Structure 1
Amino acid sequence: MELRGVYPALITPFNENDEIDVKGFKSNIDYVIDNGVSGLVPCGTTGESATLSYSEHKRVIELAVEASGGRVPVMAGTGSNSTREAIELTGYAEDIGVDIAMVITPYYNTPTQAGLIEHYRELANTVNIPIVIYNVPSRTGTNIKPETVATLSKEKNIIGIKEASGDINQVSEVIEKTTKNFKVLSGDDSMTLPIMSLGGKGVVSVAANLTPKRVSMMVKAMENNNIPKAQKLHYELSPLFRTLFIETNPIPVKTGAKLMGLASGELRSPMVNMENGSREKLKKVLKNLDLI
């Protein structure tokens, strides 16, 4: 399977009883697929995976597979800071038809680079599903280094990395040192254009929850080497990219979804509602993009 294009990191909408809004989740999936995305990412950071119960995590993955109906691939978040838990979740995802597993570096226990290699190798040797490493050191406290990624890129079913280190030099080194078929996706909307200019293949996008068509157009323009068009879209979308991180993700994107009439619901504690000043800034950006 070729890993490329736009994969929205889906929000998880909740209903008034703080349960998964099944109808709303499926409606949001139809919205992003109808507007040109390449795949779906349920149960990432944006999907509030940290506050989903184990059964809810599995249910959200199931719903994404059902709602996709084979129209686009599903790349489900199945990582954990426990290797055994990651194996269980990834095996479950494989069994229900997920196409790719996105596996975050273990968080809190801050393994060494040798420990990261062991973690991913054990996972890769236990399941057959393709695996994408997810590197986001600002969340996990652990940065997987380019040399480590290069070693893991030789494993038959580790096919790529979602790079959210924010370090363009690191991304460049990862692309330089990994095997030919290993793919790099940006893990940060604002870094998509520069990462693709280095040879990256797309983005796991927060903004694509709200404006999937324009994010997809930007990535497609880069794929087609239409740099002026890609740059134009990048600068049009940059205020949104920035505003979606003026408070902790997914607070702004869920607020934006609610303002647009998409399924959202409340945030799971300890996440709280967006501050009024921030909300007004987001509202202005959405208006300028004709999203509300």
Structure 2
Amino acid sequence: MSHDFRPSGPYGVLLTPFLEKGRIDEEGLEKELDFMLASDIAGIFPCATTGEFISLSPEDNLWVMEKAAAMAKGRKRLVAGVCAASVPGVVRYAKRAYELGYDAIVLCPPYYITMPQSEILEFYLQVAKETAYIPMVLYHIPMFTSELSLDVFQRLLSVPSIVGLKDSGQNMKRIAHEVDICRRERPDFSILTGTDDMLVPSLVGGCVGSMTAFSAILPEANCLIYRLMAEGKVSQAMEVNQSYLKLLRLADSLTFPAGYKRIFAERGIPMGNQQVVSILGQDAYRDLEKEIRLELLKVLALTELKG
């Protein structure tokens, strides 16, 4: 089944705030969604890697999908992470996403057990057959799952319900080949980057959008980058992109995704317990907080100046 939906522009990844004992902070999640809905981002992506879907029960993942849909449907595009280690698990998520009115699902290869490319291809073909009622975005994230090879990617272009690819592989060479393959074989296919660090290089290289944490945390910066790119002001867009690279390094200095949650907390969005203080020590963590706060203020000041 073919679909008209093609993801483009900046999508913000929904982070999951927690209370004690791993319970989701419903009030915090609502505040985060309000923050994202007030921005100019194109869409919202719950149950993603940065959203810690792997730490949630299936029931909690479904609840997050439902909460995001209840607040954002009709206001932003919605894509749901449906990653699971089995086809039935994926289909359960996909069916609920469709019932809730999501525009698409996003699916990575099965995780934990390394699979040969032939089985990854079969996995996607089987899921696509059982979920043809909703568009699918492939998800390449080789640091956490088996690689989605270029050959398998190219073969999946023939599946009408597969409409895009989110590439979080942090590899511009790979993205260049994905864009070229689509240009030759399926020009309407969407390639999106999952890496804030190389947002402008990815857009210059042919990506039509992104699905990233900073489009949720710093929507002003990423939306400004898209506007500057549309105006042909690539050097200014690159300046904005580079302005938050140190902030990304600070975020990545903590166990993923604690650093991103720390930055969001500095924006007044509660993210709940951060279980990293005992690892760093109170003094080191306080110093890191100060550095994050300083870099965040610099980025926001530049964004306001350029905007």
TM-score when normalising by structure 2: 0.88
1:287 matched to which residue of 2?
297
**How does the TM-score come out when normalised to structure 1?**
0.92
Find the partner of 2:24 among 20, 24, 29.
20
Give the unaligned 5+ runs of structure 2: 302-307
What's the secondary structure of 1:75's corresponding residue?
strand
Q: CA deviation at 1:220?
A: 2.8
Looking at structure 2, the residues matched to 20 and 116 of structure 1 have their Cα atoms a distance apart, in angstroms, of: 32
DSSP-derived class of the 2:143 partner: helix
The answer for the alignment partner of 1:42 in structure 2 is 46
- Aligned-partner Cα distance in 2 for 1:16–1:148: 42
Shift, 1:55, TM fit: 0.5
User: What's the offset of the Cα at 1:187?
Assistant: 0.8
Counterpart contact for 1:79–1:90, Cα < 8 Å:
no
Structure 1 letter corresponding to 2:142: P
Seen in structure 2, the aligned counterparts of structure 1 residues 14 and 62 have a Cα distance that, compared at 3 Å, is same
Provide the C-alpha distance between the structure 2 equivalents of 1:191 and 1:237, rounded to a whole number of angstroms: 11
* Structure 2 CA distance for partners of 1:182 and 1:81, relative to 1, 3 Å: same
Correspondent of 2:135 among 118, 130, 143: 130
Contact 1:147 1:177 in 2 (8 A): no
Q: What RMSD over aligned residues (CA atoms) do the two structures have, in Å?
A: 1.8
1:256 is matched with 263
| Aligned match of 1:188 | 195
Q: Say whether the 8 Å CA contact 2:73–2:101 is kept in structure 1.
A: no
Q: Which runs of 5+ in 1 are unaligned?
A: none
Question: 2-side partners of 1:124 and 1:257: how far apart?
Answer: 35
Offset of 1:185 from its aligned partner? 0.8
2:9 partner amino acid? G
Question: In the alignment, does 2:77 pair up with 1:70?
Answer: no
Runs ≥4 in structure 1, deviation > 3 angstroms?
15-18, 271-275, 277-281
Matches of 1:51 and 1:106, distance apart in 2: 16
Q: Which residue of 1 aligns with 2:160?
A: 156
Deviation of 1:73 (Å)? 1.1
1:214-258 alpha-carbon deviations (Å, 9 max, x no partner): 111112322443212211211222222332222232110111222
The AA in structure 2 aligned to 1:137 is P
What residue number does 1:201 align with? Answer: 208
CA offsets 1:158-208 (integer angstroms, 9 cap, x no match)? 111110111111111111113211111111101211111111012111112
Alignment size in residue pairs: 287
Matches of 2:60 and 2:110, distance apart in 1: 20
Mapped to 2, the partners of 1:145 and 1:223 lie a distance apart of 31
TM-fit CA distance, 1:129: 0.7
Tell me, yes or no, if structure 1 residue 5 matches structure 2 residue 9. Answer: yes
Q: Is the 8 A contact 2:167 2:175 kept in 1?
A: yes
Structure 1 match to 2:226: 219
d(CA) in 1 for partners of 2:255, 2:140: 17
Question: Match of 2:266, SS?
Answer: helix
The 1-side partners of 2:272 and 2:42 are apart by 25
Alignment of 1:73-152 (within 5 A): 73-127=77-131, 128-140=133-145, 142-152=146-156
User: How far is the alpha carbon of 1:25 from its aligned partner?
Assistant: 1.2
Distance 1:155 1:289, change over 3 A: same
Q: 8 Å contact 1:6–1:202 — kept in the other structure?
A: yes
Q: Which has the larger radius of gyration?
A: 2
Give SS of 1:138's match. coil
Instruction: Give identity over the alignment, percent.
Output: 24
Aligned partners of 1:113 and 1:225: how far apart in 2?
39
Residues of 1 paired with 2:288 and 2:134: CA distance? 40
Q: What corresponds to 1:53 in structure 2?
A: 57
Q: CA deviation at 1:16?
A: 4.7
Q: Is the 8 A contact 1:147 1:174 kept in 2?
A: no
1:236 aligns with 2:243: yes
- Equivalent position amino acid for 1:160 in 2: G
